[in-house]
Structure 1
Amino acid sequence: MKSEKLLKSESDAVSPVVGVMLMLVVTIIIAAVVSGFAGGIMTSSDKTPQATIKGTFSLSDGMRITHTGGDPIAMHKVVFGIYDGETFGPDVDTVTKQTLNKSTMTYYNADGKVEDVMGPSGSYNMTSFVAGSSIYIGERYCAPDYLQPGICPDGYDYDNDKSQYHNDKYKNRWSLCLYNVNNIGRDFVLTVSDTSGNLIAKTKVTVTS
């Protein structure tokens, strides 16, 4: 009889412990599910857009950047960059890296009229860069004093020099300028990134007349 009471007592003592353990396991599982769900939401919302971008560069017509497919890109979160490709010589990419100034860009609005991408107050007239749309940088803004100020030769004068600048003192820098008529046929790289530095697209562009 005493043995039966002892077994019953031990059984009663184990039951609450098992119950508590089961509750802990359930709580941990629920917490893991909620955490995973929340993490998935954050990951999807912070996902870097991916797009196919094409570019053209003409000394006479300027530069055109076209979104040919993929995700829409918020204009206030995008950074356009360029650097000279291998056809300009070895190890010139770091020296020639340049962020494009969005205030020099235009596009065709819904009415088919040319409009600045950025308004005078810094707000965006073009809020999203979507598949099928293009951005333009006029010929004047493709000259090195605007497009590549980091390597623009000292004393460069657009009105007098344009694409045939003559000054032996700065010939090394001038040889790296996309606007140089001698660089027709050479390639540079156009990059599209977000403001956090994540690459969205990269494409090769050939300098044409």
Structure 2
Amino acid sequence: MREVRVNSKESAVSPVVGVLLMLVVTIIIAAVVSSFAGGLTGGTTKAPTASLEVHVKAAELQGGTSSGDYVPAFTIKHMGGDVLPTKNLKVTTFFKNQSTSELTQGTLEGEVAVPGRSDWTIGGYIDTKYCAPLFLNDLNRFGYATSSNQYAPGWFGNESAIFRPGDILTTSAMYSEYVTNPSVSTPQVNLGLNNLTGLNCSDLNTGFVATKTIKVQVVDKPSGKTIFDKEVTIE
């Protein structure tokens, strides 16, 4: 019988190759997992945390004349937390329009210029002047809210309009249509608030009156986080 000899060196090659293949596969899997995890981390935007307080008024008594003017108004106050660049925010409102029985949605994001009207002379808010639906009410930082240009530093959505704790975002209530003997039942027209909500808030037929509710949402666009989402009772 012929004797068959097995080379011990050749028999050892197979286990070594197997170990090397397992090592290569492990390294590849680790690299893929690391790349995927790194991609997730790099694409995540830190969500801001802030406490906001929203007030909506059907006919707020404004100064400016000897008797005052009644104007619909909307304010967002920053009560505390992170500073919020308004260019990163989106404000959405939902209101059941009584005259149409439909849910009216209004949205504000970015810098929006609302022109006055040629027949308005009170406060100089005419058709060659503009104001934002919301602006930071801080004369020391930004000056007056109206502008001959379609942008201004304190306007919602402007690069300079940083919403800090203690700040108040408000509608252009002082830049509104003057009516004779304005009152709760005949308020002036607030074009900024109308633009924000998508309805004529001075038309009582819409049901925009005290005790009704309007849903208000404020979202941080980069992170997608909702900062404020509540049904607000109109005052």
More helix by percentage: 1
Choose the corresponding residue for 2:134, options 105, 108, 120.
105
Residues 114 and 135 from structure 1, CA distance in 2 versus in 1: closer, same or farther, beyond 3 angstroms?
A: farther
Matched-pair contact (CA < 8 Å) for 2:134–2:169: yes
Q: CA deviation at 1:25?
A: 0.8
Instruction: Choose from 194, 209, 215 the match for 1:148.
Output: 194
Report the counterpart of residue 170 of structure 2 in structure 1.
136
Q: Distance in 1 between matches of 2:37 and 2:137?
A: 43
- How far apart are residue 65 of structure 1 and its match? 0.7
Verify: 1:201 aligned to 2:200, yes or no.
no
Aligned to 2:103: 95
Residue 147 of structure 1 aligns with an amino acid whose one-letter code is L
Residues 199 and 119 of structure 1, relative CA distance in 2, 3 Å threshold: farther
Task: Give the TM-score, by structure 2 length.
Answer: 0.59
Output one character per residue of 1:57-105: Cα deviation in whole Å (capped at 9) or x when no partner. Answer: 23224221112234433222212122226xx77x96x622112457232
Q: Count residues with an aligned counterpart.
A: 179
**Distance in 2, Cα, partners of 1:39 & 1:118:** 43
* Contact 1:107–1:117 (CA under 8 A) maintained in structure 2: no
- CA RMSD for the aligned pairs? 3.7
- Quick one: percent identity of the two aligned structures? 16
- Give the C-alpha shift of residue 24 in structure 1: 2.1
User: TM-score, normalised on structure 1?
Assistant: 0.65
Aligned CA distance change for structure 1 residues 151 and 136 (closer, same or farther; 3 Å): closer
The within-5 A match list for 1:61-76 is 61=62, 62-76=73-87
Shift of 1:127: 3.3
Task: Provide closer, same or farther for how the CA distance between residues 119 and 193 of structure 1 changes in structure 2, counting only shifts above 3 A.
Answer: farther
Alpha-carbon separation, structure 1, partners of 2:133 and 2:161: 16
Task: State the match for 1:25 in structure 2.
Answer: 26
- Between the aligned partners of 2:5 and 2:30, the Cα distance in structure 1 is 39
Name the structure 2 match of 1:158: none
Report the secondary structure of 2:206's partner residue: coil
**Which residue among 74, 78, 88 is the counterpart of 1:77?**
88
1:19 shift after superposition: 0.9
Identify unmatched segments of 5+ residues in structure 1: 154-162, 166-173
2: CA distance, partners of 1:203 / 1:98: 15
